[in-house]
């Protein structure tokens, strides 16, 4: 869970360090166990070799002469040589053979010492050899207990050979401390090496990310560098192939859009003349027709349809010019106060439109005709969706290097789900409306095109039953 938000480089580094730490710990345990086994095997071998030499010497030794006046049958368990004086001092853990038990009929009785492993002495009396580790006064001792067999095959005594293990344990403890001391240092070195190695391994990913981030939707001609023949090179080649296909698709789409815009502009331009002829002829026919006649109604319907079509053609032509970037060819300083005044004089509801100007006389660089069309469309849209006794306010705003035009009404408002698509072409909030009752659906699309052509932005805020506010921000000239 803690690594969920980490980068791939961090995950690889931590995983590598964790794996190496586990391997190092396992290796330390194996070294400890192997070292102890090797040392104990050497100790056991040394003890067994010593016992084997003693047994060979015992078998090859001639039998002792009989004691004067005592035959073998006269020996019993209390027959032991008498030792006069205290025994010589002897380290019970000194590595040398010593007798711990004599058979009752041992012809060569030996001076005995207390056994270190009494249980092994019992087994040795029965002819079994025992190799075990015991503790004597807190000191670990490896003890070999074995029977001494005479030439006649009888057990004469039991001997044990001790081997102190405290020095071995100290050596193993020193080895353990050394491994524990090396562990953090080794982990730090492994972490540094992992960071370096992982960094070099993931460098192509960073390179691919940086180069891919530099591509723009308008220009996909660039390609990633392909270095080597590993998986990252394959990834870069795959991305290059995808970019090539996208570029080809975008070029085809762009060509289609250019052709559509050209067709729209050409068709709109070509339609202006016949529509003007229709309007001229209907204008000539209407005065000569009787009022209430069918002919007058037909001519009037034709004239109104031609007027709506003329507005649609003019809107399409303006959109085509906006898409083609032709508006910028007419840019010049524009007095917004004068331009707004002229636009408001053409408002369909001048009685309910109010104008609020800020102090000063701001200018923008743009097309006066296009800006007047922008304000006219916004005011016309506000008037159309405001009650007869409603109000529309037009304001000039200022924010740093930008000048704002705000159109606010207290009309019916716009549902929130329609705000995102409000500036789409031919989109209507009320799908039941047509061009005769609610416009062509191009007014706000034209507003957006004009604003973007001037390097500005347009915003909308609305509440049902309270009204709608459109705010346009343009760079100050």
pLDDT higher than threshold 80 for residue 110: no
Residue at 274 is within a domain: yes
pLDDT band (50, 70, 90) for residue 78: very low
Residue 108 belongs to some domain of the structure: no
What is the pTM for the complete model shown?
A: 0.47
92 domain-assigned = no
Assess whether 277 and 409 both reside in one domain: no
Residue 317 has pLDDT above 80, yes or no: no
> Is the pLDDT reported for residue 372 higher than 90?
no
Task: Determine the Cα–Cα distance for residues 124 and 144; give it in Å rounded to an integer.
Answer: 10
Check residue 188 and give its pLDDT: 84
Most confident of 179-188, 355-364, 437-446: 179-188
195-228 tens-digit pLDDT = 888 777 777 777 877 777 777 766 677 777 787 7
Domain assignment of residue 353, yes or no:
yes
303 lies in the same domain as 426: no
Is there a single domain that holds both residue 248 and residue 288? yes
407, exposed or middle or buried, with CB in 10 Å at 0-12, 13-18, 19+?
buried
In a domain, 450, yes or no: yes
Residue 470 and residue 336 share a domain: yes
Average model confidence (pLDDT) for the chain?
79
pLDDT for 17 = 81
CATH of the domain at 350: 3.30.565.10
On the 0-12 / 13-18 / 19+ scale of CB atoms within 10 A, 342 is middle
In angstroms, the Cα distances linking 221 to 68, 216, 224, 238, 244 are 121, 9, 10, 15, 8
Condensed to tens digits (0 to 9), the pLDDT of residues 152-163 reads 778 888 888 899
Report how far residue 301's alpha carbon sits from residue 170's, in angstroms, rounded to the nearest whole number.
115
256 and 351 fall within a common domain: no
Query: Comparing 135-144, 230-239, 409-418, 425-434, which segment has the lowest mean pLDDT?
Result: 425-434
Q: What's the confidence (pLDDT) of residue 59?
A: 67
Reported as a pLDDT band with limits 50, 70 and 90, residue 79 is very low
**Whether residues 390 and 314 fall in one domain:** no
User: Is pLDDT above 70 for 194?
Assistant: yes
257 located within any domain: yes
Last residue of a domain, one of 319, 340, 357: 319
How many beta carbons lie within 10 A of that of residue 447, not counting itself? 24
Q: Does position 40 have pLDDT exceeding 60, yes or no?
A: yes
Number of domains forming the structure of the chain? 2
- Domain match, 345 and 424 both: yes
Locate 188 and state its tokens: 């730090």
Tokens, residue 257 = 């859009």
In 3-state terms, the chain is what percent helix, strand and coil (to 5)? 55, 15, 30
Q: Summarize the confidence of residues 437-449 as an average pLDDT.
A: 76
pLDDT digits (tens, 9 = 90+) for 457-474: 999 999 888 899 999 999
Domain closes at, from 319, 336, 364: 319
Residue 72 has a pLDDT of 46
Q: Is residue 393 part of a domain?
A: yes
Tell me the CATH number at 303: 1.10.287
Long-range contacts of 252-261 (CB under 8 A, 24+ apart): 261/320, 261/323, 261/324
In terms of domains, do 304 and 336 share one? Answer: no
Q: Is residue 238 part of a domain?
A: yes
Do 374 and 399 reside in the same domain of the chain? Answer: yes
The token pair at 304 is 């109104």
Domain boundary among 319, 336, 357: 319
Whole-number Å distance between alpha carbons of 314 and 258: 19
Distance from chain centroid for Cα 405 = 44
pLDDT at residue 75 is higher than 50: no
Q: Which domain holds residue 375?
A: 328-475
pLDDT of residue 241: 85
Q: Are residues 307 and 364 in the same domain?
A: no
Same domain membership, residue 439 and residue 350? yes
Nearest to 156 by CA among 110, 91, 202: 110
Is there a single domain that holds both residue 300 and residue 349? Answer: no
């Amino acid at each position: 869970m803690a690594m969920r938000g980490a980068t791939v480089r961090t995950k690889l580094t931590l995983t590598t360090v964790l794996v190496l730490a586990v391997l190092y710990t396992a290796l330390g345990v194996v070294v400890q166990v192997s070292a102890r086994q090797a040392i104990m095997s050497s100790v056991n071998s040394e003890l067994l070799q010593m016992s084997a030499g003693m047994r060979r010497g015992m078998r090859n030794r001639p039998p002792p002469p009989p004691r004067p006046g005592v035959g073998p049958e006269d020996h019993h368990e209390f027959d032991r040589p008498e030792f006069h004086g205290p025994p010589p001092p002897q380290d019970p853990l000194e590595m040398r053979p010593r007798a711990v038990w004599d058979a009752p009929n041992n012809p060569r009785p030996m001076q005995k010492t207390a056994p270190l492993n009494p249980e092994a002495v019992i087994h040795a009396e029965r002819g079994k050899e025992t190799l075990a580790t015991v503790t004597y006064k807190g000191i670990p001792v490896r003890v070999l207990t074995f029977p001494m067999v005479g030439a006649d095959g009888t057990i004469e005594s039991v001997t044990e050979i001790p081997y102190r293990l405290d020095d071995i344990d100290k050596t193993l403890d020193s080895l353990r401390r050394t491994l524990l001391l090396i562990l953090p240092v080794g982990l730090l070195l492994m972490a540094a090496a992992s960071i370096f190695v992982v960094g070099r391994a993931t460098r192509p990913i960073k390179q691919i990310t940086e180069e891919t981030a530099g591509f723009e939707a308008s220009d996909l001609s660039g390609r990633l560098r392909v270095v080597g023949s590993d998986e990252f090179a394959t990834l870069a080649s795959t991305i290059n192939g995808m970019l090539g296909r996208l570029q080809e698709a975008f070029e085809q789409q762009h060509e289609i859009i250019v052709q559509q815009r050209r067709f729209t502009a050409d068709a709109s331009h070509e339609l202006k003349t016949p529509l003007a002829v229709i309007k001229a002829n209907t204008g000539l026919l209407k005065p000569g027709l009787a009022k209430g006649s069918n002919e007058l109604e037909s001519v009037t319907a034709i004239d109104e349809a031609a007027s709506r079509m003329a507005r649609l053609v003019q809107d399409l032509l303006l959109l085509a010019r906006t898409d083609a970037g032709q508006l910028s060819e007419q840019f010049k300083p524009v007095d917004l106060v004068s331009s707004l005044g002229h636009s408001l004089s053409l408002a369909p509801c001048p009685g309910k439109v109010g104008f609020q100007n800020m102090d000063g006389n701001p200018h923008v660089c743009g097309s006066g005709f296009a800006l007047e069309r922008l304000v006219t469309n916004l005011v016309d849209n506000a008037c159309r969706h405001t009650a007869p006794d409603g109000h529309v306010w037009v304001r000039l705003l200022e924010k740093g290097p930008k000048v704002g035009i705000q159109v606010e009404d207290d009309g019916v408002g716009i549902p929130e789900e329609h705000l995102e698509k409000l500036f789409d072409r031919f989109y209507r909030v009320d799908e039941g409306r047509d061009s005769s009752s609610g416009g062509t659906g191009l007014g706000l699309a034209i507003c957006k095109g004009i604003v973007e052509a001037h390097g500005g932005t347009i915003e909308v805020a609305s509440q049902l039953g309270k009204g709608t506010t459109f705010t346009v921000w343009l760079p100050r000239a």
